[in-house]
Amino acid sequence: MIPTNAPQIGQEEIEAVKKVLESGILTTGLGAGPKVKEFEESFAKFVVAKHAVAVNSGTAALHMALLAANVRQGDEVILPSFTFTATAEIVVLAGAKPIFIDINPQTYTLSPEAIEKAVTKKTKAVIPVDLYGLSAEMKIVREIADRHGLVVIEDAAQAHGAAYHGKPPGFYADFACWSFYASKNMTTGEGGMVTTNSEEYAEKLRCIRTHGEREKYTSVMLGHNYRMPEMEAAIGCVQLKKLPSFLEKRRRNAEILSKRLKNAQKLELPKEPRGFKHSWYLYTVRLKEAEASKRDKIVAKMRERGIGVGVYYNPPIHLMPFYRKFKRHKLIETEKASKQVFSLPVHPGVTTKQLKFIADTVLGLL
């Protein structure tokens, strides 16, 4: 099976973990061991942020950002439904209400026009998601947020290496939240990071990460145990150095697929709009004017032939049993996309021969 995504782990990561084990420092009480600090500093430099706070998952990163922004019960948070469940989950965990809005059908990221229509007196924050590795329209999101006094929490879990008009994820946000899950462009196994340019927010995030403590056993605010272990941080330090080459290979693989599929009239290929730099976390195509049953038949046949095709995201969050009770605006484009998209492997481990096989299989099935 050619997996949709696969971690690229080598001997360097193994040696890095071994050194941590030999050191005897596996974690620290305040979550800032030597490897964690090294990883935070390196990652902050990579994404051009003043502060980076390492945590144990991307979900933790999102939850901490909401808590640091003082999102609480009675508040509303605007977000897309066309994303992974965690983006909405943490809003509910913070006690607030998720307000689902529609997407731009060309980019699959949230529609700025829909944000304006969804703002109420209760709106506290907006969470744009950089989906599939393509940034949301962050400058416009920032302008809308500033007009209405909203906090911007950018879900950059899939956007390592992406850019928007030359700016990295987080530039236009109060917080950017990252994931290092095993499938991501770089990994620590599990793990996440929050980046911010605010000293105040950074201090809050570090407290929240470890039970609200600034000093051991002295909580100054409500917190959680969201610490990143030293072994994960050690892997992250190695992976971050490899990330530029990973991104280069992903781009090359995406270009090969696009070239081979460009004449497939039934397919809409992924776009990289002018001013955007895609990180190619997922190469997502769309079966034009089709229902989910047709898409699912193609996906099933491709999997039978050893190609790990992914379907992200069906159902969208607002149609999941738990989330049906929350308010949503018209989500026409979200529901349509969820029935038509599927993602093909372009990770660094995919060979040119495999890419030809993937493209030929898609063309044959169409």
The pLDDT of residue 328: 87
Over range 292-313, report the average pLDDT: 97
Q: Where do the domains of the chain lie?
A: 11-238, 243-365
Over range 312-323, report the average pLDDT: 97
Q: Is the pLDDT of residue 163 over 90?
A: yes
The two beta strands, 218-219 and 123-126, are unpaired
Amino acid at 288: K
Q: Is the pLDDT of residue 53 over 90?
A: yes
Q: Is the pLDDT of residue 306 over 90?
A: yes
Q: Is the pLDDT of residue 236 over 90?
A: yes
The pLDDT of residue 289: 83
Say yes or no: domain 243-365 is CATH 3.50.30.60.
no
Amino acid at 200: E
Q: Hey, is 126 helix, strand or coil?
A: strand
The pLDDT of residue 290: 79
Q: Is the pLDDT of residue 92 over 90?
A: yes
Q: Is the pLDDT of residue 327 over 90?
A: no
Look up residue 149 and give its two tokens.
């006094």
Confidence of residue 103 (pLDDT cuts 50, 70, 90): very high
Over range 123-151, report the average pLDDT: 98
Check: CB of residue 183 under 8 Å from CB of residue 7: yes
CATH code, residues 11-238: 3.40.640.10
Over range 9-13, report the average pLDDT: 98
Separation between Cα atoms, residue 236 and residue 306, nearest integer Å: 30
Check: CB of residue 326 under 8 Å from CB of residue 97: yes
Separation between Cα atoms, residue 136 and residue 188, nearest integer Å: 25
Separation between Cα atoms, residue 155 and residue 195, nearest integer Å: 11
CA atoms within 13 A on the CB side of 336: 15
Check: CB of residue 107 under 8 Å from CB of residue 79: no
From 35, 124, 184, 204, the catalytic residue: 184
pTM for the model: 0.97
> Per-residue pLDDT tens for 139-148?
999 999 999 9
How much is the mean pLDDT over the chain? 97
- 336 is a catalytic site residue: no
> Per-residue pLDDT tens for 253-299?
999 999 999 999 999 999 999 999 999 999 999 999 878 899 999 99
Check: CB of residue 112 under 8 Å from CB of residue 91: no
pLDDT above 70: percentage of residues in the chain: 100
